[in-house]
Amino acid sequence: MKEEESNIIFGIRPLEEALTKNTTFLKVYVQKGEGEGLKFIKQMLNKSKVNYTEVPIEKLNTLSRFGNHQGVVAKISPIGYYNAEALCKELFEKDLEPCFIALDRITDVRNFGAISRTAMAAGFSGVIIPEKGSVSVSEDAIKTSAGALLHLPVCRTQNMFQTIKHLKEEGLQIICGTEKANKELYFEKLIKPCVIIVGNEEEGIHPSLLKLADKLVKIPMNSDLDSLNVSVAAGIMMYEVLRQNMVDG
């Protein structure tokens, strides 16, 4: 069976099971129509707040040529989400230094993919994203990350503030990238273990997260631009952490 086929489920019962297991759905296709079975499928998806697209039966027949789709075919993510607190503990137990990049309300999948690709290249432990109001792992994100999201742990949290607070209490330095900072990142000691936090390009990092910061840093700008693309800014910060710890290590 091809790799992409192994990530496709079809039929009512497999869909029910996937919904109870908090599966990450990339795309869900439901047959157009008003039959009882279709109404039941849509009710399940709506209750679980899973988006779906209504398509002709011919498309479903093509996608599920190996079995009876019963009116629904779903593409699911090949990865599962991690718990940041548990992953941090596991890394410490292995005598490793946890180092995360946290994305506060980043919604662009291309930025998510690019940041994840850089995080993997820079040796970071994982990416932390909020459960709501944020990107999630999708086909586009995986493609943009050049496959990095298939290997880099993605931690999803219901409460970003509590997760960052917990990691801070575990000894991780909290580094926030913001133009409101007084110091440039090259003049701050950025040590592992740590969490780098970047915010969306419109609103920046939420004030509650800024209050948890051990270091507020900004990237020097030699022009009238007031900010960089978030994936570029995140990459600069991650590699500065890498550089400083390589020199000191």
So where are the chain's domains? 5-76, 84-248
Residue 29 backbone dihedrals phi, psi, to 5 degrees: -115, 130
- What pLDDT score does 173 carry? 98
| Architecture of the 5-76 domain | 2-Layer Sandwich (3.30)
- Which segments of the chain have a pLDDT < 70? 1-6, 22, 66, 225-226, 247-249
User: Between 109-121 and 230-248, two packed helices, what is the crossing angle to 10 degrees?
Assistant: 10
Taking every pair of C-alpha atoms in the chain, what is the biggest distance, in angstroms? 66
Residues 6+ apart with CB under 8 A from 235: 114, 115, 118, 122
The residue with tokens 């086909």 is 139
- What pLDDT score does 247 carry? 58
Q: Which fold has domain 84-248?
A: Alpha/beta knot (3.40.1280)
| Tens digits of residue pLDDT in 21-65 | 767 788 899 999 888 889 999 999 999 888 999 999 999 998 887
Closest C-alpha among 242, 157, 230 to residue 194 = 242
Contact indicator for 118, 235 with CB cutoff of 8 Å: yes
Residues 6+ apart with CB under 8 A from 100: 84, 88, 124, 125, 126, 127, 128, 155, 167, 172, 194, 195, 196
- What pLDDT score does 164 carry? 98
Burial bucket for residue 212 (CB in 10 Å: 0-12, 13-18, 19+)? middle
Q: Which helix (H) or strand (E) segment is 175 a member of?
A: strand 173-177
